A and B are shown apart, each in its own frame.
Chain A
């Protein structure tokens, strides 16, 4: 098959049509120090400045050879931030994190503010989208990402308290989720209105590493389903850890794709997902292999992911800041060799 444009390759795979080869890129954050050094725009500026954020987005393609690019920064706190969560101070190799929970003491006044998209970094993201779209034109697929409604809810009241509410005040869980659901819908459609081709929700707090599957089924899945139904474009769901036991439930949220880590069984995930018309992103290990491993180990694991039929060859989670660029490039090398 003749070589496809990067956009065509991505979309064909995403929509189940033929491709010349499996697309390679990252559907999670890539605030990588090597990329910052290459493009000359580093965090913390690249967290708050639309030009710097855009340049680092593009550096993923230019230097990391990713075949699509990420908008909306290098952390997963965007929704919570706009609700007033206090954030930590980012450094070149440390991303934004949640430091304060605005509704820890009471959720009596919790509501979805009508000017939500004027809050946090959304106004900056708007300008960043404009610059990024100007830069990549129609050549590259662009995606936006924030935390999902469940992770956001835990951030608003404190994860520990949120988890105890499962037993102590189950009614509070839904009250908060109904508010964060509105934020998630606003954020995804904000991204689509500003040119995103797809949107990722990262739900690190909702996975089976923390909660029993029954809970996911009862609380998380219905909320995600509503968020996906109301989206103006396709949504991808990323959950960390070993997600083997919830792959079907992740797919049943109605998403177009799921993103999984190396702890999950890619082959089995693909079998389940494809029956439901869902694509799978992943799953080269970020901590052990990409950051810690040799280029040869990355190459081997990437080849393994391709053999396990991943639809999009990607890191399994957010890429660790000190990951060597040389290791990232092994993903592309493995993919190119696999399809020659």
Chain B
């Protein structure tokens, strides 16, 4: 897991609180967000040299408020300046982070914009850091953020926690999950200086869970992230090659993260209404158990998940579990039926699963052909290498 330096820790934690305080006081999310971003950059420059102020949040709020006035002064057409109170010292409030998160995941925004804005406004990351993490140019991220802020303005959204904010939580959870997957799927070795997006997603989801402990799906999402991220050290070899779950060195799994994830999901399943993230976390928890994998249990959970939140990938995973329980031939028959669905017909994962099942059933020539076909269909370089190596083993 990526570890934040103490300075980063302070800045990232303070970022949404400072922004919340400033925007709540002045109302203009757009300019306030720019001002806070500049205050954070100033702190990152000055504090290592001059030492951290006694009250970092107050320092950031003061600098951001001042910077905001300067930004507004630059736009002469705006006369807001006259209306400014003489001594602006906005204060921090507990629900600001949640309000910000809901605002950044506004349904008027595209997922790409939600991700960029959330990372900056709630995560306290700079545009440059986000660009490096997403592997796109800084100008592209800058554009996504300014576009997002314009959309928020046009939608008339304000910095107030909507009374019906619970209806917006699925969108918030989805955005956090998107951020997690951006980080989770990226290879470890691709860049040393990348901000770890999966770590950031876990941090933000942890905050949300602390604020809304009664929300079972937020708990499920946090547990799912922790349990998935726990396997990260074992998921790839040093050269970037993928290691399938069954072959992973379990001693490399992060036990502390697994224990925390299991604890969270156990409590959520007991105390709250069941949902898709909780079921996925429960499946991840079963996978994380020591000893032989309990496939009947996983199959039962996938069947439940398929009834709660059906989708092609859920069906495919259910078939993988089915094949583990009832054998490869039963799996192949189920796959044949499922592959008539358009969403799965030409999907490389269907081809990859078919290859695995054919290999296990002993039809090595057919398995090899399917591995090679899946290698051609995938968009992932590590997957391509993995599938090609499985094929050459059968040569």
A binds B: no
| Residue positions of B touching A, CB distance < 8 A | none
| Residue positions of A touching B, CB distance < 8 A | none
